[in-house]
Structure 1
């Protein structure tokens, strides 16, 4: 590792634009997309802002770590799906759940009652054609100006990347699954 000298002067111009709701996308093959979105939700909640989290691939009865904590903190989190496609017994039903879930999430975004709406793992039903991309793009363009929307999942469509204000691509460098280490409570769930 090479030691660096810390900067003493700002190397970017100070923004002068107006504050407004942002569209933030976390995508890529690396770990941390949902975790980053949940961190934003916690940060907003910590500032007294109203937050809602929708998880497109989790079942409504899911009790992962984020569900337990968000419940304790009073942050609503809603599972909209029936698990990942390889666990589904009926992909047609999975598609129906995703579309019905999108209807609820879209209504929340458009209503403008929340400072932030997280659409966790929405890229999967978008990529599978279960939710029309144009419907999501229209909702994001037409949402109230103060609403922040965070979208996660691998393979964000280019149209969504183009529309977003901030896009982070998580890059897989190394993953414990590759060494045969299974998912662990508190890390993956």
Structure 2
């Protein structure tokens, strides 16, 4: 992971051509992820995946939203991984500064096993059981619109009841609601209870909500941060299989 390499290149602190040549010659099994603003065109052309995070700007007369509510949505890759990155920062804060800074990671539509982040989360839980909790919900299958099964509603509600109690309790300083947006978009959960819970959340609790959706639910208006992942290029469009350890 070459974090903030793009602005380093944009500032002329490294030779772009040398970096591009090095990346072009990387071992086939090595995954390189470059982040930051201002990626040079030659680097973007070399990449087989390019996502851009765009902030949604509010109109001058709109409210600023509620501090501590963030939403990551859009068609591009990086929504869940951005939220998990925030979770990692929060866990680090709990380790180094505030032992009461507990983190809850709740994931909808991601039942079953085999998700590679589970091992990392389990390792953190083993070392710091008082700082991080994790729960998956849903079937081990994709839920398609119009093909929802009764168990999908049960699983969605089960996870939401835990989320509602966790947010309201103030016990957790950071709560990740991963793939809540498509869960609501599929009408597996009603919007109003989510709205009421977010409106009443403790000021010190940060809630991060992820997932794409066709129809933005009303709670989007409550967010103080709303970022959209825009997909410019994805290897799946060329028929390349999703990558284990990268995509799931």
- Tell me the secondary structure at the aligned position of residue 143 of structure 1: coil
What's the CA shift for 1:70?
A: 0.8
Whole-Å separation in 1 of the counterparts to 2:211 and 2:168:
22
Whole-Å separation in 2 of the counterparts to 1:43 and 1:28:
23
- Kept in 1: contact 2:67–2:223 (CA 8 A): no
Relative distance call for 1:3 and 1:22 in structure 2 (3 A) is closer
1:184 and 2:236 aligned: no
> Which residue of 2 is the match for residue 36 of structure 1?
82
Whole-Å separation in 2 of the counterparts to 1:135 and 1:34:
23
Match of 2:202 among 129, 134, 144: 144
1:22 and 2:81 aligned: no
Whole-Å separation in 1 of the counterparts to 2:133 and 2:113:
13
Greater RCO (CA < 8 Å, at least 6 residues apart) = 1
- Kept in 1: contact 2:184–2:217 (CA 8 A): no
Structure 2 gap segments, 5+ residues each: 1-8, 14-65, 95-100, 126-131
> Which residue of 2 is the match for residue 160 of structure 1?
219
> Which residue of 1 is the match for residue 123 of structure 2?
72
Structure 1 gap segments, 5+ residues each: 7-19
Whole-Å separation in 1 of the counterparts to 2:10 and 2:123:
42
Whichever structure has more strand as a proportion of its residues is: 2
Q: Aligned pair count?
A: 172
TM-score normalised by length of structure 1: 0.84
User: Rg: which structure is higher?
Assistant: 2
What's the CA shift for 1:63?
A: 3.6
- Tell me the secondary structure at the aligned position of residue 171 of structure 1: strand
What's the CA shift for 1:184?
A: 1.1
What's the CA shift for 1:119?
A: 0.4
Whole-Å separation in 2 of the counterparts to 1:105 and 1:158:
18
Kindly report structure 1 stretches of 4+ aligned residues shifted beyond 2 Å: 2-6
Q: What is the RMSD of the two structures over their aligned residues, measured on CA atoms? A: 2.1
Whole-Å separation in 1 of the counterparts to 2:11 and 2:115:
40
- Kept in 2: contact 1:21–1:147 (CA 8 A): no
TM-score normalised by length of structure 2: 0.65
